[in-house]
Structure 1
Amino acid sequence: MNHSYESEHDGSFKYNHIPEEFWQLFEISPGGVSIGTDPHCTTIIHNRKASRMLRIPAGGFFSHSSFKPPSVKVFRDGIELLPHEMPMQRSGVDGEEVQDEVLEFVWPDGFRTVSVWNSIPILNKEDRVVGVLATTEEITRYVLREREMQLDKINLENVVTEKIEEQTRLRSEVERLDRFSLVAQMAASISHEVRNPISTVRGFLQLMQRNQTYNDNYYKLIISELDRANEIIGNFLSLSKQNDSAERLEKDLAETLGFILPLLEADALMMGKKVSFIEKSVTPVRLNSKEIQQVLINLVRNSLEASEKGTTVVVEMFENEASIGFYVKDEGPGIPPEIVAQLGTPFLTTKEKGTGLGLSICYDIARRHGAEISIDSGEKGTTFKFAFAKQKSQSA
């Protein structure tokens, strides 16, 4: 099988002693066929199909192991190959069979082809490698199409990313405008709420000036209206402070709530109602005492105002596997579901003289403490639940 080869007048080569019909099969094969004439592949001849792919005359030489290698770079997975790393050379020197190896040939003028190579060593009767046979199929069109599709995919992903970023910017802008709208709403509501008591005070002062009378009830009413204006402004300031840095320490929740119980009992007594405190021993909680006391005051006063005379508002502590906190339960008529869904929104109120800021303050304090406020309301009354999430060490 160690055939010699000779030059034809057209510059092509063919093996001696190979029947013409077999040589013709080599030449007209629909796939690329290449033959290395020695184990090191210093000479490789290629049939017409392979020659067209390699941009050489039909049957010409093309080998990077030759003494005058072609000025073509060959890449596998983006890495340039040295001559001994190519499929045919590996088959000849190492005797290995190479299957489905994708190579990219790049010429100095920028032209490129991509092809799949399979190669096997040619052995003589003594099983020594005397040459190499390789087949190849060009897949340039498919690879370039795939690259175009990949590029289109990247471009599309970039467009999607840009759209998402734009949408995020628009959402931020909408939120900013919503905040402006809320501020405008707050300013209008505060102006309206504060104007009422101020108008009352002004009217009575004018009346006293005109009549030069000093009715004690007038003074009480003026003081009451000024107190109401001050409370409205105080609530607004509490809501706007966003005091996330307020100090929180581990404290006894029962002691924190019990401290203001006399104040709440006095409020209830003046309304002809009662406040009952069901104290329980619970794990200490990290909290800001003044803020949690403010929550309890707001919730209890809301419940008292919603309850009939002679009823009782119950404050009850609890602890379970997930949380620690307290309930505030009243015996009022309940809150409509559409209002429950919006509770905590500034200026949302069902009271004739309410500002709707009390619950907003409660929700904001809960957020700062990592706690949650939940509501269960029906015809027999409403229960507010204020729950601190237990830390892992507390749950263990």
Structure 2
Amino acid sequence: MTGVSYIEELQQLQRKLSDLEQENLYLRNALTEEKQLDKRIKAAFFAAKDGILILHPSGVILDVNDMICTAFRLDKDKIIGRNITHFLPREYREKAREYLVEINESKKHSRYLFPLKYQQNEVFYEISAGKLPDEDAFVAIVRNVTSYFLEHQKKQKEKLLYNEFFTEALDGIVLWKETGEIIAANESALRIFESTYEELMQTKISDYVYQKDEKYVSMIKQLYKHKSNREELMFLMPNGQKKLLEFTTKLHSVEGMHMSIFRNTSERYKMEMDLRESKTMLKNVFEEAFDGIIVWDEAFRIVDMNRAAERILLRPKEEMTDMSLLDVLPNGKSVAEDIKPMLLTLKDGEQNRGLYTAAINQNEWSQFEFKNKYNIYSGLSITTLRDITENAVLEEQLRKSSTLNVIGELAAGIAHEIRNPMTALKGFIQLLENESKSDKHKMYFSVIKTELNRIEMIINEFLLLAKPKDVQYIKCDVTKIMDETLELLQAQAVLFSVQIEKKYQKSQLEIYCDPNQMKKVFINIVKNGIEVLENGGQIQVELTETEDSCHIMIQDNGNGISKELVARLGEPFFTTKEKGTGLGLMVCKRIIEDHKGKMEIESEEGVGTAFHIYIPKHNGSNNS
């Protein structure tokens, strides 16, 4: 029996039992806590917002959480047991294997960015992986960083773009502080301000302003009021050069700094001035050109015209703008002398030219040289008109003058050659008539003498053309001369059943003229009127006066003639009568021109012909 009593042994056993109970309680509590921790870990594993994979070092997936299932769009049983590389594009599989080897060897956590394509969209995942303690496995946390990565890329691109823009911009960019000190500038700014980078960094923008006047002060006030502005100012460079700069300023633009963008507009300003001067010069040339210029569009609408075109068309530009050129231009005298067919046949890039004859003022024909050019600029075409009416008249007068000279030369020779035998013939005819006692030959002698008198009259007209008589101006009553003429021709008028009606404004109209010459004019015209009225008719004679001249009108109601033939009346040897010579009206025109007057002829087929004669009241050489 030992020295330990039963009671002591019992107490020892009780103490051991109590220790065992305490240890057992601790173990139970530790087990409970471990189970709770395991539950929390599992809850965290499955509820984590990031994807979690448990991987074998070979890459085989041992376990995954719900986020991985969602990301892969597969059930858990279809993911576990497969290699992680199976879910990666082929081009990234080798990299993934290298990544696993790196984790296994380093035994440290590491991160890697894998870009994946899902439904044609690129998705970026960041993978953070490390070995599990006491286990031959890895844990990999997968986080979708697409939005963050794209945003980061965007910022990087913006930063790169800003740097490229700032450095490579053609405009000068200057960053400056609130105090005005320049803290950054690009190459273009250095060139504009004719300075090195170091020189520019030691200055303020205001140091370069040429004049700090009221405009400058107002500009600064507006800048701080509106936080930005756009202006033009003259700047003085360090080398003494003045430059007109256009600039835009924005306060607190880049990281609290102010930014100004400069552009040298000196060259542009000079170009604008040169362009303005060129435009003014071209406008002046356009407006002052002697030829009429009309600008029209593809629909023939008039866009612009110069002053010469206004004068030719006798209408203001404002009235004709937007009207059709085809409506503004009157029809030509004939198809061959009309401009409209030439306009309608124009094609892109083509041009044509010709003669255009038209009655612009509806009273007389005018002739123009025209040139059309289609689509010279931006759908616009031009037509130019050159008035050659005066040239055409001068050419016609020259032709007539040449004809008259020839006729004059011929007349002088012919008249003298014919007059001598004519005198002999008339003398012998008179002798034969006196000696002949037979009445049956009287008619023959009468016809012979009449024809001889006609030949003598033609000879006299020839001589008048060859050597016109000097006009002796005296003060005469034109009504008296007309009455004597009509009285002389009254018998012929009755013979042709022609009635002559007189309308005199006044009983006496005095002018300075040669009465015999004027009577010759009246006889010729009235006689012509009687002869064209073969079946009878009426001749109307009117005498009126204006402030400076006397107007004589002799009008018949015969058949009339066309406008083309009217233009030829007065030409030598041109006549509408069977036995006419065409010299009568030619002599009339010569006499009227010698009296400083003019003759106009109007005729309409089926209506009749009117001769208008205008004789000035006071001749230049006789005013009393």
Give the TM-score normalised by the residue count of structure 2: 0.30
- The structure number with the bigger radius of gyration is 2
TM-score normalised per structure 1: 0.46
